[in-house]
A = this chain, B = another copy of it.
Amino acid sequence: MKFRIDNLQYCNWSRDIFQINREANLDAVHVTIVYHEDFDEFIQRTKEWNKFFEENSDLIFLGKNFDDIEKANKEKKTAIFFGFQNCSPIEDNIALVEKVHQHGCRFMQLTYNNQSLLATGCYEKNDSGVTNFGRETIKEMNRVGIVIDMSHSAEKSTFDAIDISEKPIAITHANPLFWHKALRNKSNELLKILAGSGGMLGLSLYPHHLKNGSNCTLESFCEMTAKTAEIMGVQNIGIGSDLCINHPDSVVEWMRNGTWSKSKKFGEGSQNKPGFPNQPDWFLDARGFDNIEKGLKKIGFNEDEVGGILGNNWYNFYKKIL
């Protein structure tokens, strides 16, 4: 079977977007359900999603296991897998790892840019790696079946997580550093170790992670994909578009600042460009998967390889972990 999976979206959810994702033939989407929320606020988000599932049951349902991807494909729906961009919903409590899993969480970043109780984020000056509580949490995430996601983590912390975790981990949405210098992008060495441990990289379509930002060309993206495949092996690469459609700029401000700072931080943006950047014209939304498919074929990937990158590699990863 051939699956299409976008392994990271954080949109301002609506029926329109669920329809677009179906038009893009997405069998599964890993959606960010929280950034800085605590446990109670996470539960609130799941209630909001219950309403989405009820009102859009012809388009989406909550995904829990890998076979929900097969089910979605058969029923022409999109399985929605919940993920956290920060570990704040487990607060300082190891028992909440199992609780968040029971409420649908299947991916959790150990950090979001800053230091967390578990590990160091990529915006900190120094990286002390995975903490005492982090080691306990990774063990528990392995046990209950939540994927460790290190997209926003610093490098030593990521190496530690790969080393400590008994199951392969993921970088759901980032690009290689060799292509575009950004705190969020990853070194060749890290990508090799990640791939060697069976881990996955989801290539990002978020302009701050792209060479030339919003003006990045499809050709450049596909060349980067080809070089990344040489480094990691094509079977360890997927898409994690990081699409943030229809949000007001106040949302990216909140993503960056949470409640931790009295002065405004601009993260990957700047004082002059504080808001969400424009998507490149060949990936305005998930329907851009078709363009990527063409681009990857053009650059020389065969049918199987393209299918792997656009979804089957993530499917195989889900099958191993979930």
Question: Which residues does A use to contact B, with CB under 8 Å?
Answer: 36, 38, 88, 91-95, 114-117, 120, 123-129, 131-134, 136, 139-140, 258-263
Contact = CB atoms under 8 A, between A and B. Distances in A.
B262 A136 contact: yes
Given A133-B261, A136-B260, A261-B136, A115 B128 contact: yes
A129 to B, nearest CB: 5
Contact of A260 (B132, B259, B260): B132
B133 A129 contact: no
A117 B125 CA distance: 14
Which 6 A-B pairs have CB atoms at the shortest separation, nearest pair first? A128-B128, A126-B128, A115-B131, A93-B259, A133-B260, A114-B132
6 contacts: A94-B260, A114-B131, A114-B133, A115-B117, A127-B128, A132-B261
Nearest to A118: B115
Given A36-B92, A136-B260, 9 more contacts: A92-B258, A95-B259, A114-B117, A114-B131, A114-B132, A126-B128, A132-B261, A133-B261, A136-B262
A94 B136 contact: no
A295 to B, nearest CB: 38
A256 to B, nearest CB: 11
Nearest to A259: B93
A131 B120 CA distance: 9
Contacts of A91: 38
A140 B262 CA distance: 9
Contacts of A93: 259-260
Nearest to A123: B132
A257 to B, nearest CB: 10
Contacts of A120: 128
Given A126-B128, A127-B128, A129-B125, A259 B115 contact: no
A297 B76 CA distance: 85
A37 to B, nearest CB: 10
A51 to B, nearest CB: 27
Contacts of A132: 114-115, 123-124, 260-261
A136 B263 CA distance: 9
A187 B123 CA distance: 30
A139 B259 CA distance: 15
Contacts of A260: 92-94, 117, 132-133, 136
A129 B120 CA distance: 11
Nearest to A262: B94
Given A93-B259, A260-B136, A124 B114 contact: no
A133 B263 CA distance: 11
Interface centre among A38, A93, A117, A126 (most CB of B within 10 A): A126
A94, A125, A260, A262: which has the most chain B beta carbons within 10 Å? A260
A46 to B, nearest CB: 20
Nearest to A261: B136
A194 B120 CA distance: 27
Contacts of A92: 36, 88, 258-260
A4 B127 CA distance: 42
